[in-house]
Amino acid sequence: MRAPQQVPLAGLPRHVTVYEVGPRDGLQNEAAVVPAHVKIAFIARLAAAGLRVIEATSFVRPEWVPQLADAEEVMAALDTGGGARYPVLVPNLRGLDRALDRGVRDIAIFGSATEAFARRNLNRSVAESIAMFAPVVAKANAEGVAVRAYLSMCFGDPWEGDVPIRQVVGVGRRLLELGCDQLSLGDTIGVGTPGHVSALLEAFGAAGVGPERLAVHFHDTYGQALPNTLAALQAGITVIDASAGGIGGCPYAGSATGNLATEDLVWMLHGLGMDTGIDLPALVATSTWMAGQLGRPMPSRAVQALGATPQ
């Protein structure tokens, strides 16, 4: 299988962590429920391909996200001694308790930079959602569990339009001040551009939040996910969210083409001479296999170009 020629750029990190979100963020958007055994095999294949952080599921109420109603079954089947981490999303204390009962050591919460999306997604204001997260983070900290905070709508909102950078920084700092270890900045509808990414990360730095506490989560609605990722790397970001095959997407943007594909990201990172620890052919084979399970091709350009044989 062809590999990119390695031509590094000066000033970029040497090692990057790919934070795989396909099993959770990707599959929760599928119209049909994917069987638990397929999810378990998907996660195992991702780990075998070298992914070391794989967001496995979400402990939400089954009626809210029926695609992830099998969270306990999935987590019980994972090999947690193989060196990979398997974070899960939790919405509240009940979700945290369910996760702790399964021995989870990494959780994530999901907040919004805008009032409109906070109301639609959480049925709360931004302030009320942060208040809801406070006891979750406090209990996780007390249990020695790592906490990531997702912050959505950082670059634009379908109801509010442009989102001021200072607003994003303000909400992001409040989430970190709860005791979160990492903040993932989401371009939920994929409208960001590289200059915007650079300006936002610079503003966080000016507010005392360096790149070591930040991650980025880009959608490719307007074809900007990889350019935006490069801008983030140039700002010192070393944790990039991506979804195997490019599955998933934003239900609030009709033209959304989904998450940044892990294969497309890895192709670029390897071409830049960066260490990811990921076996790209094995990853492509995994997404090709998953395409067979879903009954449709993967959006990833790298998967399409490399054309792995299903296994």
Q: Each residue of 117-150: pLDDT tens digit?
A: 999 989 999 999 999 999 999 999 999 999 999 9
Q: What is the pLDDT of residues 76-88, one digit of tens each?
A: 999 888 899 999 9
Read off the pLDDT of each residue in 102-124 and give the average, rounded to a whole number. Answer: 96
- Contacts made by residues 118-127, CB under 8 angstroms, sequence distance 24+: 120/159, 121/152, 122/91, 126/171
**Statement: residue 254 has pLDDT above 70:** no
**Which tokens belong to 239?**
């944790």
**Statement: residue 251 has pLDDT above 50:** yes
Quick one: pLDDT band at residue 309, thresholds 50, 70, 90?
very low
Quick one: pLDDT band at residue 161, thresholds 50, 70, 90?
very high
**Which tokens belong to 232?**
């983030």
Read off the pLDDT of each residue in 156-163 and give the average, rounded to a whole number. Answer: 96
Q: Which amino acid is present at 150?
A: Y
184, 217 contact by CB (below 8 A): yes
112, 122 contact by CB (below 8 A): yes
The DSSP 8-state label assigned to residue 63 in this structure reads: T
Cα–Cα distance measured from residue 33 to residue 67, given in angstroms and rounded to the nearest whole number:
5
The three-class DSSP label of residue 19 is strand
Rg (CA), the chain: 18
Which residue ranges form the domains of the chain, and what is each CATH number?
17-306 (3.20.20.70)
Q: What is the pLDDT of residues 44-95, one digit of tens each?
A: 999 999 999 999 999 998 888 899 999 999 999 998 888 999 999 999 999 9
Exposure string of 172-202, with b = 16+ CB inside 10 Å and e = fewer, is bebbbebbbebbbbbbbbbbbebebbeebbe
Q: What are phi and psi of 261, to 5 degrees?
A: -75, 135
pLDDT at site 310? 45
**Which tokens belong to 237?**
């970001």
Cα–Cα distance measured from residue 276 to residue 46, given in angstroms and rounded to the nearest whole number:
13
The side-by-side arrangement of strands in the sheet containing 146-152 is: 53-54, 17-20, 239-242, 214-218, 182-187, 146-152, 106-112, 88-89, 57-58
Which residues have C-beta within 8 Å of that of residue 198, sequence separation ≥ 6?
231, 234, 235
End-to-end Cα distance, the chain: 15
Q: In angstroms, what CA-CA distances link 45 with 50, 82, 94, 196, 288?
A: 9, 12, 30, 35, 11
- The DSSP bridge partners found for residue 17 are 239
**Statement: residue 311 has pLDDT above 80:** no
pLDDT at site 62? 87
The DSSP 8-state label assigned to residue 85 in this structure reads: B
Work out the percent of the chain whose per-residue pLDDT is above 70: 96
pLDDT at site 1? 87
Read off the pLDDT of each residue in 7-25 and give the average, rounded to a whole number. Answer: 97
The DSSP 8-state label assigned to residue 35 in this structure reads: P
**Statement: residue 286 has pLDDT above 80:** yes
Cα–Cα distance measured from residue 293 to residue 275, given in angstroms and rounded to the nearest whole number:
30
Cα–Cα distance measured from residue 239 to residue 299, given in angstroms and rounded to the nearest whole number:
22
- List active site positions: 250
233, 17 contact by CB (below 8 A): no
Read off the pLDDT of each residue in 212-233 and give the average, rounded to a whole number. Answer: 97
**Statement: residue 308 has pLDDT above 60:** no
pLDDT at site 271? 98
Which residues have C-beta within 8 Å of that of residue 126, sequence separation ≥ 6?
111, 112, 113, 114, 115, 118, 171
Cα–Cα distance measured from residue 165 to residue 274, given in angstroms and rounded to the nearest whole number:
30
